[in-house]
Chain A
Amino acid sequence: MFPDLRRDVIFPFGGAVALFALFAGIALSYQALLGTGSAERLVTVMLIDAIVVVGIQIYVGNTGILSFGHIGFGAIAGYAFAVLAISPTEKAKRIADAPFGLDLVDMGPWLALAIAVAVTLVAATIIGIGLARSGAESGAVAATVITLALLFVTHEVARNWPEVTGGDRAGLAFRIGGALDSRIPIFIALFVGIVTARLFAQSRMGRLAVAAREDNLAARAMGVNPLVQQMVALLLSVAIVSVGAALKVYEDGSILPDDFFFDFTLLTLVMLIVGGRNSVTGALLGVTLMTAGRELARRLGQDGFEIFGIGLDEAPLDWIFRENLQTVFLGLSMLGFMIWRPKGLLDDWELDEWFHRRIERSDAPAPERLSELDSAADATLTVSDIDVRFGGFNALTGAGITAKQGEIVGIIGPNGAGKTTFVNVITGMVPATAGEFSISDGDGTSVLTKEPSFRLSRRGLVRTFQNLRLFGALTVRENVEIGSLVARQGGAKAALRDPDALIAEAGLWEHRNRRANELDYGNSRRLELARAAATAPTFLLLDEPTSGMSDSESVAMIEQVRHMAATVGAGVIVIDHDLAFITGISDRIYVFDQGTVIAEGTPDEVQNDPHVQAVYLGSAAG
């Protein structure tokens, strides 16, 4: 059951502490081993990069949206910090004409940092609204371009607004009485960043965001509104990136437009993807590897090293070991990983999850069987006169059904009869051109026609998909938990059952820790059913639940569906073109043909209806 205090809070926190200690330990031992000033500097830079990369991971990893804009947010934070923190005497030399009296502002660096983060969060809110409006989802191209536009706008503004930024070349020589003289703030920020990233990923918000990353449509169909999660992820992510950026400026003692542009974007993105963007552990691994690799490439390209008596800066090796080798290294790393290992070295592997799996008993007994609910609730779904037109084609004309909670209603019809379109309408995925549908229960009648799909599913209309839409990278257990996470938003319901018990009911207990995309077809179907049941639906809408199954599997599915629906006290609307399955499972049947209902009744009545026989058997209609 979520939240599992150990799995979702204690272990991630412990894992974050361990990661932080490991990472800082490696960095500090490198420094101690070399003991040089340049090693010290390298370690400081790496620690700050790690803050930024962990920050980016929160957004990119959990939402799957590629952002080029986080370094743009970094620029906003960096400049805001610099302008506020520099002493008025320094400002009088550099930016005497600053508007809003900024040149007179005199405040300590930590207040400046807080304000810089706040300013950047305002910018992030605006961009976040824009991203939401653009229909951001995993891999969305428009969203990525909006973030790229942000990066360019901040760069342009930084270059062309010298009254505040000091312009293109001068930089804000940065003296508040010395640059950052202790690493403690950096360590604190990094620690907070890692803990935030891990706890967010395991939180309710984080899990729903990941569900939407895996399959946006399926997540919405289960009642998730991904835009909420994306916004929260963005704000958390930007807050951490801005702290990192401000610390970078503080440490460098200056800021130039190019400090927060393409090169830094490339560096942080490479660090993120090499280790694995879906994992905090991966992000930190990437920071370590890329820092080491880049430093090695830089040194090999620069100094006159000799290996086995051959100088690296002489023929035949001089064409490789040249100055700026590190930029080629970064570019090739990105390209190579995208081509051969796009999910990075670790994919979504997390230290604490691995440890949790190690100590969790794999032979835990299955939970007790669930009793079927003696449903007192009796909601009625009424769908009337639905028209759907695609251009000139009438997919549905005046189609309507009624269904009661606790009853199984079948919809059957040949291909193209409009069955799936009908389900799409009542789950908010296709707008009806005309018509209305509503749910009535003890509390009255609510018309649902114009609601978006995530609201319809929260209202109890939950569907499965003909072509199976599971959250592939998540485990069986996580898939089902998403369902109950959504359901619990609406408060306690009798139909809200323990996800583990539902997994057992679906016969998936032994597979509970496997990823959904590793399951065979029949188990995938059963998982989708269990996941839908976990949302405590009023009505389950099943779109061809037996498609691709053998006859014996179809027969078994009848029992599965009946039992699962009774367990959560839901009504079922099931569509299929398999006559045997539909007549075997349904209490009542509607027959669709060419977008209209041509018959309605009990299985017997429908089977004997001459219209139906005409459609199905091609005999002359009476």
Chain B
Amino acid sequence: MLSLLQNLIDGLGRGSIYALLALGVAVIFGVMHLLNFAHGELITVSGYVAFWALGAGWSWWVMVPLIIVTSVATSLVIERVAFSRVRGASDFTLLLTSFGVHFVVSAIFLLYVSASVKNFSRPGWVADTFSIGSLNVEIFDMVVIVVTIVTLIGTTLLLQRTMFGLALRAAAADFDTARLMGVKSDSVIRGAFALSGFLAGIAAIFWLMRAGSVQPSAGIDPMLKGVLAALIGGLASLRGAVLGGFALGLAEVFLRSWLPDSIASLTEGVVFVLIALLFIFRPQGLIATATAERV
């Protein structure tokens, strides 16, 4: 029972970060039908900015706005330089474009920084825990969960209460119709990339706090988590993406504690297999949005 609760908190903490990443992936998929394999690069870029800023003696409190600004700006730049040129292209082209962006960004750091891992100091409280009875709770997990919930509420309000949110949801439901109804595709897409960058920025803060390091290929892992979580949730559904993030986090933590020691190191592999099975039996993800091709 105790370990169950412990795992639950760990899983929710992990899942929170995945949920933020997945939501960013789903927002962009909604407006562009683009599965963004370059989403993790927002964390790579943020990581290098954090590495330099912390190296210059700045505090982690300054990192918070700095990382968010970096992530939003990077997201917008990537949209401008690459994705705006392939709008409406085939899915094949879109997938490989984002794959290409991933490689170019990591190659730039490989070229101008180095292939080696760059370490930076983590805030002191990241590893601290407090006890409730015999339950050890990481402060970090609690902070992540609370900040994520606040962010998700804010995002929900943005999507439900503003014109931009309405346009974005309309575009995600049916982009062509939305455009005919007067939604400006340019500003919706840019807004979606900004929102996606903002969410990734929050995720980046926590991801980097925990990792304490960055390297050119640092984006692969968070990208994969975000993309898989969004797929678990069904890609087209924003709510599904958040649920997918939590489901992925919980699945990882619980599998790691349940699997026998000899294969515990294969947890990620097992998670991939489970996800592949999910696609095989429910290709639309957990939350299926019915879209039939018109004939």
CB atoms of A156 and B96 under 8 A apart: no
CB atoms of B97 and A130 under 8 A apart: no
**Is B73 in the interface zone, CB < 8 Å from A?**
no
> For chain B, which range describes its interface: under 10, 10 to 19, 20 to 34, or 35 or more residues?
35 or more
Determine how close the nearest CB of chain B comes to the CB of A73; give it in whole angstroms: 14
Closest to A340 in B: B85
Distance, CA A337 to CA B185, complexed state (A): 24
Of residues 141 through 174 on chain A, the ones whose CB sits less than 8 Å from some CB of chain B are 141-142, 144-146, 148-150, 152-153, 156-157, 160-161
Taking beta carbons and an 8 Å cutoff, which residues of B are in contact with A? 35, 82, 85-86, 89-93, 95-97, 99-104, 106-108, 110-112, 115, 217, 220, 224, 227-228, 231, 235, 265-266, 268-269, 272-273, 275-277, 279-281, 283, 293-295
Closest to B108 in A: A328
CB atoms of A339 and B283 under 8 A apart: no
Q: Mark A320-359, 1 if CB is under 8 A from B, else 0.
A: 0011110110111011001100100000000000000000
CB atoms of A334 and B99 under 8 A apart: yes
> A140-B91, A142-B231, A262-B220 are known contacts. Are A334 and B279 too (CB-CB below 8 A)?
no
Closest to B82 in A: A335
> A157-B266, A338-B97 are known contacts. Are A145 and B104 too (CB-CB below 8 A)?
no
> A156-B272, A327-B111, A328-B108 are known contacts. Are A144 and B95 too (CB-CB below 8 A)?
yes
CB atoms of B96 and A273 under 8 A apart: yes
Interface SS, A side: helix
Determine how close the nearest CB of chain B comes to the CB of A344; give it in whole angstroms: 11
Task: Enumerate chain B residues within 8 angstroms of A334, measured Cβ to Cβ.
Answer: 96, 99-100, 103
Determine how close the nearest CB of chain B comes to the CB of A433; give it in whole angstroms: 15
Interface with B: A131-139, A229-237, A552-560, which one?
Answer: A131-139
CB atoms of A465 and B295 under 8 A apart: yes
Task: Enumerate chain A residues within 8 angstroms of B111, measured Cβ to Cβ.
Answer: 322-325, 327-328
CB atoms of B110 and A324 under 8 A apart: yes
Closest to B268 in A: A156
Closest to A218 in B: B295
Determine how close the nearest CB of chain A comes to the CB of B222; give it in whole angstroms: 14
CB atoms of B110 and A335 under 8 A apart: no
Closest to A139 in B: B91
CB atoms of B107 and A66 under 8 A apart: no
Closest to A339 in B: B85
**Is A27 in the interface zone, CB < 8 Å from B?**
no
Distance, CA A513 to CA B86, complexed state (A): 30
Determine how close the nearest CB of chain A comes to the CB of B21; give it in whole angstroms: 15
Distance, CA A375 to CA B288, complexed state (A): 48
Task: Enumerate chain B residues within 8 angstroms of A160, measured Cβ to Cβ.
Answer: 265-266, 269
Closest to A329 in B: B107
Distance, CA A160 to CA B270, complexed state (A): 12
CB atoms of A141 and B91 under 8 A apart: yes
Closest to B34 in A: A141
Distance, CA A138 to CA B266, complexed state (A): 32
Q: Mark A21-35, 1 if CB is under 8 A from B, else 0.
A: 000000000000000
Sample of 20 further A-B pairs with CB below 8 A, known A324-B110, A332-B100? A66-B95, A139-B91, A139-B95, A141-B91, A142-B231, A145-B231, A145-B279, A146-B279, A149-B275, A152-B269, A324-B107, A325-B111, A327-B103, A327-B106, A327-B110, A328-B110, A334-B100, A335-B101, A338-B100, A342-B86
30 contacts between A and B (CB under 8 A): A66-B92, A133-B281, A139-B92, A141-B235, A142-B231, A142-B283, A144-B95, A145-B227, A152-B224, A152-B269, A152-B272, A153-B269, A153-B273, A156-B269, A161-B266, A266-B99, A269-B99, A322-B111, A328-B104, A330-B103, A331-B102, A334-B96, A335-B82, A335-B97, A338-B86, A339-B85, A342-B86, A342-B90, A342-B92, A342-B96
Closest to A321 in B: B111
Task: Enumerate chain A residues within 8 angstroms of B293, measured Cβ to Cβ.
Answer: 217
**Is A64 in the interface zone, CB < 8 Å from B?**
yes
Task: Enumerate chain B residues within 8 angstroms of A424, measured Cβ to Cβ.
Answer: 295
**Is A429 in the interface zone, CB < 8 Å from B?**
yes
Distance, CA A15 to CA B196, complexed state (A): 49
Distance, CA A103 to CA B90, complexed state (A): 48
Distance, CA A339 to CA B276, complexed state (A): 30
**Is A420 in the interface zone, CB < 8 Å from B?**
yes
Q: Which of B102, B115, B295 contacts A324 (CB 8 A)?
A: B115
CB atoms of A339 and B231 under 8 A apart: no
Determine how close the nearest CB of chain A comes to the CB of B275; give it in whole angstroms: 6
